[in-house]
Amino acid sequence: MIELRYGANPHQKTKPITFASGKEPLRLLNGAPSYINLLDALTAWQLVKELREATGLPSAASYKHVSPAGAAVAKEIDEAFKESQFLKTTDFSPLASAYVRARGGDRMCSFGDAAAVSDVVDVSLANFLKTEVCDLIIAPGYEPEALEILKQKKKGNFLIFEIDADFDPDAFETRELFGIQLSQERNSKVITRADLTDIVSRNADMPESIYQTLLVAAITLKYTQSNSIALAYDGQIVGLGAGQQSRIHCTRLACDKAEKWFLQRHPKVRELQFQDKMPKVAKTNLIDQYLLWDSLSSREEAMMLNGFKERPEPISKEEKAQWINTFAGITLASDAFIPFRDNIDRASRTNVQYIVETGGSLRADDVIQATDEYGMVHIHTGIRSFLH
């Protein structure tokens, strides 16, 4: 039996969690969770499990408020990523690299996250996690030494969940809202490469490597609060716009985040000289300010400059655009059809080259025409992935 500390807010009381199937696939190995901790952990687990099945690679997600801050599959960490994320090494196990990349997709939103990984947690991942501000982890298992490392985190209060990787819940799920029960079939539609074959644009040039990134983007949206748009690059999410009432606002948010991610790798950013003993979170905030330099007030600019050893050279708008245009393979996914071409126009400014969406909007021809104007590859899946 797992007791909860409190509900969505501390003043809301809870009851122990129950298992609808009669099976007990989830175990609490350490800590005392809240209601939202369970929502994050269980939603994140479904994402990494499906990513693992779709790509065959160890997968990870960083969750906050029931939407991913980042998600990624395992790949080597390059030097630019290491420097841009203030990492001390690139020597990570495949599983650890997946989480490092997922967390690095949006390091500000990942602060205090819920971590989910598809494979047994090893010492490499545990050693990285013990240095990060993270609230919990959910995984199918733990190496004994890794588990002991994690149990020491947060003065012994770090939340550790173990889930049965083979557990398959009932076909229908039920929730109660305002005293009324709603039931529906779980969204068990598995998104695979076979769903990425309907290319509707004139440009049909799809490199093999792009399919993996498209799958990461499309599957991530299945476990993101709608409306949602994801930008992905090299097998990881680099920008996510979640829970907005208008799709163009999702697109703007996702593109803005992605641009920040690409600019974190810019030579001028990697060469910034910070004041001594500045913590990583302060450097992160300072870089965010630096990248907005041309729109800061004089007071904000003065405060920002206090964090550097010497006055840095700004990155001009032209330099930013040129830098982002050096990246090949940027993809955009939508959890439902794209209703207007304004989403494509905005995506073009972030050098998006591949689009995957449900298709079928009233203005689908206008949207496809826009992707043709920009030379993008445009795919319809016929699958809507709303989550509420």
Just list the catalytic residues. 64-65, 227, 388
Are residues 71 and 47 in contact, defined by beta-carbon separation less than 8 angstroms?
Answer: yes
Q: What CA dihedral angle connects 14, 18, 20 and 25, to 10 degrees?
A: 130
| Pair 380, 215: CB distance under 8 Å | no
95 Cα distance to chain centroid: 16
3-class state of residue 156 by DSSP? helix
Nearest to 220 by CA among 58, 50, 382, 99: 50
- The CA distance from 343 to 335, in Å, is 13
- Cβ-contact 353, 372 below 8 angstroms: no
Q: What is the rounded distance in angstroms from the CA atom of residue 108 to the CA atom of residue 137?
A: 18
Q: 222 and 204 in contact (C-beta within 8 Å)?
A: no
Would you list the DSSP string of 87-148? -S-----HHHHHHHHHHHTSTTTTTTEEEEESS-B-HHHHHHHTTS-EEEEEES-B-HHHHH
Q: Measured on CA atoms in the order 40, 45, 48, 50, is the torsion positive or negative?
A: negative
Q: How far apart are CA 324 and CA 155, in angstroms?
A: 42
- Rounded distance between C-alpha atoms, residue 231 and residue 220, angstroms: 10
- Two tokens at 74? 């395992």
Q: Where are the beta strands (DSSP E) in the chain?
A: 26-30, 59-64, 67-73, 113-117, 134-139, 159-163, 172-177, 180-185, 198-199, 228-233, 236-242, 331-334, 354-357, 377-380
